[in-house]
Amino acid sequence: MRALSILGSTGSIGLSTLDVIRQHPDRFKIVGLAEGHDVNMLAEQIREFNPAIVSVRDAESAEQLKTLLGADQPEICHGIEGAGTVASAEGADMVVSAIVGAAGLTPTVKAIKAGKDIALANKETLVVAGQLVSDLVKKHNVTLLPVDSEHSAIFQSLQGHRQEDVERIILTASGGPFRNSSFADMEKAGPEQALKHPQWSMGAKITIDSASMMNKGLEVIEAHWLFNMPAEKIGVVVHPQSIIHSMVEYVDGCVIAQLGAPDMRAPIAYALSWPERCESGIKKLDLATIGTLTFEEPDMDRFPALRLAFEALKAGRTYPAVLNAANEVAVAAFLNRKIGFTAIAETVDKTMQAHEAYTPVELEEYINADGWARRAANAIIG
């Protein structure tokens, strides 16, 4: 029986995780849940899964949850400290880190320091503080398993092979809703168009990142830390059908790919049950029905966010943290109709140009870089 805490239980990854757990009550149990947006849904999850501890966004939400639950309630925490308490809860073997954005960094670090294995769906943790997190994983001897479908595919395609035999890893991208759109059309696009992803059902922030291809850029940086690969050995190819989730090319010219339906329950189930496998509930793949798989080079002129991510990775130091924070601010501004779609990457670019990078060591230094970038991006947006 594997005992789990889930950070971000009411988001898309959290809901998919609970669906996998629901199918295997004999294999998994819930110790803790943390959410930041939907207290009513969290109350339903508490009634179903009976966690010992939960966390909500703030004190007001905590009082609301207490009222909803009545006398039969777990320990209730709130804020970033509360999420950290859930992440390090006694009795949990693994923490599913699925809080969106840089907000997931601190509780994930706390989980690692508490010796918990990590199923990582929060790519920003490694984007912002990859060196720190990698060092802590080694120091505390925990297992870090990727949940993103692309990184899970690479992880699976590397099994049984030597690191030195890898020529490169190839991340696939759907291309998002604007794959065939001109830059002029994207300049005029609003949130309604950007949120219409052709393949995946995800939260608003990650869907916008997919539309701009910043999501793929963040995944490139995450892949660097997960698999110890330099930027030069990480490729990206647009694959609109989203059937091949990513690939590994070896020195002998052979390529190993992982295929499956575009459903996050599959990589979640693999991370939760590794090194075994368990039923995920996804639709079985029928290649004859799919018929054709196509591939394209990404256009970094129309999608400059991907280029900026590669630049941030190569420059290192605090640039990845600044890239991520500026993007979070710009995406929020776009969703609130304060800027246009193409201004997201423009804001990130200007913020990076204004940054005086340094080499962070402590968690606080990474957080400071994140905070600086948010202030700078907000000033640029005006």
Q: Which residues are annotated as a binding site for Mn(2+)?
A: 148, 150, 219
Annotated binding site for 1-deoxy-D-xylulose 5-phosphate: 123, 149-150, 174, 197, 210, 215-216, 219
Annotated binding site: 10-13, 36, 122-124, 148-150, 174, 197, 203, 210, 215-216, 219
With contact defined as beta carbons under 8 Å apart, do 278 and 24 qualify? yes
Question: ∠ CA(304), CA(305), CA(309), 5° rounding?
Answer: 115
Annotated binding site for NADPH: 10-13, 36, 122, 124, 203
3-state secondary structure of 374: helix
Q: Give 257's strand partners.
A: 247
Q: How many CA atoms lie within 13 A of 355 on its CB side?
A: 32
- For the chain, what is the largest distance between any 2 Cα atoms, rounded to a whole number of angstroms? 64
Dig out the tokens for 226 from the structure: 């997960």
Query: Which candidate, 117, 176, 119, places its Cα nearest to that of 148?
Result: 119
Rounded to the nearest angstrom, the gap between the alpha carbon of residue 346 and the centroid of all alpha carbons in its chain is 22
Q: Write the single-letter amino acid at 239.
A: H
3-state secondary structure of 360: coil
Cα separation values, 76 from 79, 108, 113, 288, Å: 11, 19, 22, 50
